[in-house]
Each structure stands twice: as C-alpha cells, then as structure tokens.
Amino acid sequence: MREPTAPPVPALPAMRRQALRHHLLTEIRRPSRRQRRMRVLAPVAGVLTVAVAAGVIAQPWSPDSAPLIVPVEQGERVGASLLLNRMATVVTDRPGPPSGVGGYVYIRSRGAFAELGDGPARLRPVHEREIWIPRNERGDGLLQQPFFHAPIIGVIPQRETLTEVTPNATLVDLPEDPEALLEKLYRERQQRGRGNSRDGAAFTAIGDILRESLVPPATSAALYRAAAKIPGVEVVRGVADAAGRRGIAVAHTEQSRRDEWIFDEQSFDYLGERSYLVADTVDGPAGTVLGTTAVLQRAVVSELGQRPAR
C-alpha cells in the first residue's frame, strides 16, 4: 500500500510573507517590557513541586558587583566513571541516615545565583537557606530564606510554608539497579517533553535528589552508578563550593554551561554545586559563574521550624 504523500498546499503569498517578515522584525526590535530574567541554579521546584520565589538574597542587590570568573579546567571523561563507581562502593558501607525519631528532614545550605539576561552574569550575594521537608508523608514543609522582590532596599527574611511537599521517602524511592534507575529518569524526562537533552535532564534529576534530601546508602550508590552511565559526565578537580571547601566535581556540560556536583575528595561527602559557562556567550565569558552552593547540614528533626544542634 502506498502511504500518503505530501499533498501540494498553497504557498504563502509573497505580499503576505513580506508583511509577516516586517511584523516579526518590528516586534523583536521593540523594547521589551519584560523584567529581567532570573535564573536559579537549583530547579528545586521540580523536586519539591512547590513554587519557590526565584532569586533570593540577603542584602540589597548590588549592581556594581563584578562577575565571578573561575578557570575552566579540562574535564576527564574516563575518570568520571571510575570515581562514581568508587563513590558507590564507599557509600554502601556507610551507616544510613538517622532512622530514629523525627518527621522532617532539615537541610541548611548556602548559595548565590546569577541573574541572567542583562549582559554578563553577576552573582547576587550569598544567602543561607533552610528547608524542612516531610519525611514520610506528603504535607507541609517550610522554607526559610531571605526573599527578594525587585530591586528594593531592606529585604526582610521570611519563612514560607510549603504545601503538598513530596516527602523525602518518595523522592528517594528509586530502583537500586542503576540501569533501571537511569531508564526511569529517561522515561520521566520523555513524559515531561522538551527541555535540555535526555542526558542533561538525567544529570539534573540526579543532582536535584542529591541536593536537598536524605538518601539511603543503597540509593546513593545507585544514583552514583547511574550517573556513571550518563554519556558526557566528567571529573573536574580542584573545585570549591560556596563555603570555600575544596573537593572533586562530577560535571556535565550542555549548551556552554557546566554543572558540577562537588564531593569531598577523601570521604566523598556531598559538599555542594557549582555552575558556570565554559564558552563565551551573551551571558559572559568562559568561566563566568552562574551559581554556587554548599550544603552545610542535613538532619532529622521532629517539628517544622525546629533546628538541630549545629
């Protein structure tokens, strides 16, 4: 049987084509009323399925701060899989996260993110973030960080109750077979549709889980082994997190941007993340930092808003 061939269709009339072209160019040259874009390193909303106000700082915005530029080191492809598999072996022998009392996972971190869309990216000031995530049941969480709305003076630190937060237990309920885990991440990305590449999306998804959750050792191992299977994952050495702690990074580069998870080189504890440009773009030259974070504390607490001993 013959499959239907492309039927002839009327062409766009020349006059009309010209009018559409003129309209297009007029529109894109029109000064935009849109506010500057804000991009945040952590697509946390995806994990917590809560809308978190983007771009958050402790001090008024300082427009004169210089962009932070770091050296762009060559990544190693071969080393990545060795490192991740070694990490998986080491983490398996660790005791799990505290299983005792307490219904909430508490995570304290620090970070700074760049604002994009207006010339070279400049980091906003570093701020601290605390989050309480329900451990087993879907429900309320709490986020404490300085909220920032437009460039105004005097920012008031705020707490925000998060509703319908996916519990930690659900987040880390993942196949322990790395192949199956990666398949699942690829499949979920498929359902979400377009975005970054399949591999980039899987890397981001794993990063989201590592960032703000308590992961049992067997699941950590599976996440590391799955990451080792993502094409293009590299090791970058001599990297520092937002707290200045040095470590070794597992990195993935896409669209001129490299995202790194930073680990302690000896203990393989997760330290934080870093994201920067690896080529010259409209957002700045190679090495321009787009985001930097450090996880300072993870604990289990019994109540929302309760802090563990530091």
Partner 1 sequence: MRARIRAGDSDALGELFDAHADAVHRHALWSGSDPAHAEDVVSLTFLEAWRIRESLRPGGDSLLPWLLGIATNVLRNSRRAARRHREALRRLPVRDTVPDFADSVVDRMHDADQVAAAMAGLRALRRADREVFLLCVWSQLDYAAAAEALGVPVGTVRSRLSRARTRLRALAQQELAGTRMIPVEQGEYR
Residue matched to tokens 């005791």? 95
The 3-state DSSP class for residue 309 equals coil
The smaller minimum CB distance to partner 1, of residues 163 and 256, is found at 256
Distance in Å, CB of 270 to partner 1, minimum:
28
Binding mask 190-219 for partner 1 (x = CB under 8 A): x--xxx-xx---------------------
**Within 161-190, which residues bind partner 1 (CB under 8 A)?**
187, 190
* 11-19, 80-88, 169-177, 286-294 -> range binding partner 1 (CB under 8 A): 11-19
Structure tokens at 222: 């599976």
The 3-state DSSP class for residue 196 equals coil
Residue matched to tokens 């590391």? 224
The smaller minimum CB distance to partner 1, of residues 27 and 64, is found at 27
19: contact with partner 1 by CB under 8 A: yes
- Report the first-to-last Cα separation within the chain, whole angstroms: 73
23: contact with partner 1 by CB under 8 A: yes
* 1-9, 61-69, 85-93, 241-249 -> range binding partner 1 (CB under 8 A): 1-9
C-alpha–C-alpha distance, residues 250 and 212, integer Å: 17
- Binder to partner 1 among 62, 99, 136, 255 (CB under 8 A)? 255
Distance in Å, CB of 8 to partner 1, minimum:
6
**Within 261-290, which residues bind partner 1 (CB under 8 A)?**
279, 281-283
The 3-state DSSP class for residue 104 equals strand
Nearest to 170 by CA among 141, 145, 193: 141
Q: H or E element: which one contains 139?
A: strand 139-146
Q: H or E element: which one contains 130?
A: strand 127-134
Ranges of beta strands (E only) in 243-306 are 246-254, 257-263, 270-277, 289-301
* 7-15, 41-49, 86-94, 104-112 -> range binding partner 1 (CB under 8 A): 7-15
**Contact positions toward partner 1, by CB under 8 A?**
1-17, 19-29, 187, 190, 193-195, 197-198, 255-256, 279, 281-283
